[in-house]
Amino acid sequence: MTMDYLRLMKYPGAKTAMLPELTRIIGGSGCKVVVDVFGGSGLVSLNLHGVSVVYNDLDPELYNLFLQIKNNSSRLKRLLIQRMDELFHPGGKEILQNRSRNEIVRKALIQRASSGHSNKYETKSDPVLRAEETLFRFNVSFGGLGKTYSTDREKSPARYIEKTIAQYDMISARVHNWRLENLDFRSVVEKYDSSEVLFYLDPPYPGKEWYNFNFRDDDFRELKLLIDRVAGQYILNVDDNIPMITGIFGRPTFLRSYPSNNRNDGSRPEESKKKAFYMNFDDPVSSKDIKSKRPRRSY
Ligand SMILES: C[S@@+](CC[C@H](N)C(=O)[O-])C[C@H]1O[C@@H](n2cnc3c(N)ncnc32)[C@H](O)[C@@H]1O
């Protein structure tokens, strides 16, 4: 993706490749409020303009992270910079090559994992320290819930954190205006439903246990019942070609292929992933595509 965008952290299933299309469709919908129902890393919310944002995720650690960015922004930034300094400049002015920096991060993480909860950053009672821990863990890990640590083959974890620090003030200015919720999707949709609202729906992947909170088939069925009766607009994206999903949601509004750079799912880097979109409002660009490229499969 060539566009310049804000991103807080790496996250499994973050919508990086789909971001230009999602922001274009959401921006063109005319809605005033966007509810990011399965907010995750907040990537989509962070890159929306001209709308009010409600960020929601059922995971309390993600909710806490955004709450601390909103309410204790400077302290969280200081902690992050302090952590980088402790790791990379222990003597005050060491300048290290990328390779040795990665190695330092990896060793620090492995050491912390093996020493249980003794590290001062895992002081769970302090929500700002917990937020810093979450941010650090996701940025330096590869895949899953921040529990697998990157190796030299992946991009530099140090560079990820440095990018977060560089973008931090812009991110914090956005988050400052958000409403934050820590609700199950059923409750947040019920709470905010109105004709001025657009729900962005990016649920967990069926059959994958990537998150602290994952989805069962019944959750997809209940999501379908919910979107069938909302007063607001919605756009839902899911992986294409999953019989359970098409059985519940039917024929998608449109399909798209994106290059897959997410090796969590076992794909090779050059492979592309097909995504199915469902929405209840017109998007001039994708409806033109649908007329010219109707999927041949019958659902
Ligand atoms: C595919 S991820 C969202 C990724 C996000 N769009 C991004 O770009 O970072 C799905 C998210 O749904 C959250 N989740 C799981 N079950 C939920 C539920 N019942 N209600 C609300 N959120 C839930 C997970 O914690 C996870 O962060």
Q: How far is the CA of 172 from the centre of ligand 1 (A)?
A: 21
Q: How far is the CA of 201 from the centre of ligand 1 (A)?
A: 9
Residue 203 included in any domain:
yes
Q: What is the pLDDT of residue 140?
A: 76
Residue 13 included in any domain:
no
My answer on whether 54 and 77 are in the same domain is no
Lookup result for tokens 């992947």? 205
Q: What is the pLDDT of residue 121?
A: 46
Residue 222 near ligand 1, beta carbon < 6 Å: no
Residue where one domain finishes, among candidates 146, 169, 192: 169
Ligand 1 atom 26: residue of nearest CA: 40
Domains: count for the chain: 2
Based on its alpha-carbon atoms, the radius of gyration of the chain, rounded to whole angstroms, reads: 20
Q: How far is the CA of 293 from the centre of ligand 1 (A)?
A: 30
My answer on whether 139 and 47 are in the same domain is no
My answer on whether 188 and 273 are in the same domain is yes
Ligand 1 atom 7: residue of nearest CA: 14
Q: How far is the CA of 139 from the centre of ligand 1 (A)?
A: 17
| CATH code at position 280 | 3.40.50.150
Q: How far is the CA of 273 from the centre of ligand 1 (A)?
A: 19
My answer on whether 196 and 128 are in the same domain is no
Residue 5 near ligand 1, beta carbon < 6 Å: no
Ligand 1 atom 23: residue of nearest CA: 58
Residue 14 near ligand 1, beta carbon < 6 Å: yes
Residue 268 included in any domain:
yes
Ligand 1 atom 8: residue of nearest CA: 14
Q: How far is the CA of 128 from the centre of ligand 1 (A)?
A: 22
Residue 90 included in any domain:
yes
Residue 5 included in any domain:
no
Pocket test for ligand 1, best of 22, 35, 38 (most atoms within 8 A of CB): 38
Residues spanned by the domain of 79: 72-169
Residue where one domain finishes, among candidates 147, 169, 191: 169
What are the Cα distances from residue 109, in Å, to 41, 63, 96, 149? 21, 23, 18, 7
My answer on whether 249 and 194 are in the same domain is yes
Q: How far is the CA of 41 from the centre of ligand 1 (A)?
A: 9
Ligand 1 atom 15: residue of nearest CA: 213
Q: What is the pLDDT of residue 96?
A: 57
Residue 10 included in any domain:
no
Q: What is the pLDDT of residue 156?
A: 66
* CB 220 within 8 Å of CB 244: yes
My answer on whether 256 and 220 are in the same domain is yes
The model's pTM is: 0.86
My answer on whether 49 and 186 are in the same domain is yes
Return the amino acid letter for 100.
Answer: S
My answer on whether 55 and 91 are in the same domain is no
Q: What is the pLDDT of residue 44?
A: 98
My answer on whether 55 and 186 are in the same domain is yes
What are the Cα distances from residue 157, in Å, to 42, 59, 75, 87, 139? 19, 23, 22, 12, 6
Pocket test for ligand 1, best of 211, 221, 261, 265 (most atoms within 8 A of CB): 211
Calculate the CA 278 to chain-centre distance.
Answer: 19
Per-residue pLDDT of the chain (299 residues; tens, 9 = 90+): 445 899 999 999 999 999 999 999 999 999 999 999 999 999 999 999 999 999 999 999 999 999 999 999 999 999 999 888 877 665 555 555 666 666 766 666 666 555 544 444 455 699 999 999 999 888 877 555 555 554 544 556 677 888 999 999 999 999 999 999 999 999 999 999 999 999 999 999 998 888 999 999 999 999 999 999 999 999 999 999 999 999 999 999 999 998 876 554 444 555 678 999 999 999 877 766 655 455 444 44
What are the Cα distances from residue 247, in Å, to 124, 219, 224, 239, 251? 43, 14, 11, 13, 9
My answer on whether 162 and 197 are in the same domain is no
Cβ atoms within 10 A of the Cβ of 105, count?
23
My answer on whether 43 and 137 are in the same domain is no
Residue 235 included in any domain:
yes
My answer on whether 121 and 266 are in the same domain is no
Residue where one domain finishes, among candidates 123, 138, 169: 169
Ligand 1 atom 18: residue of nearest CA: 184
Residue 236 included in any domain:
yes
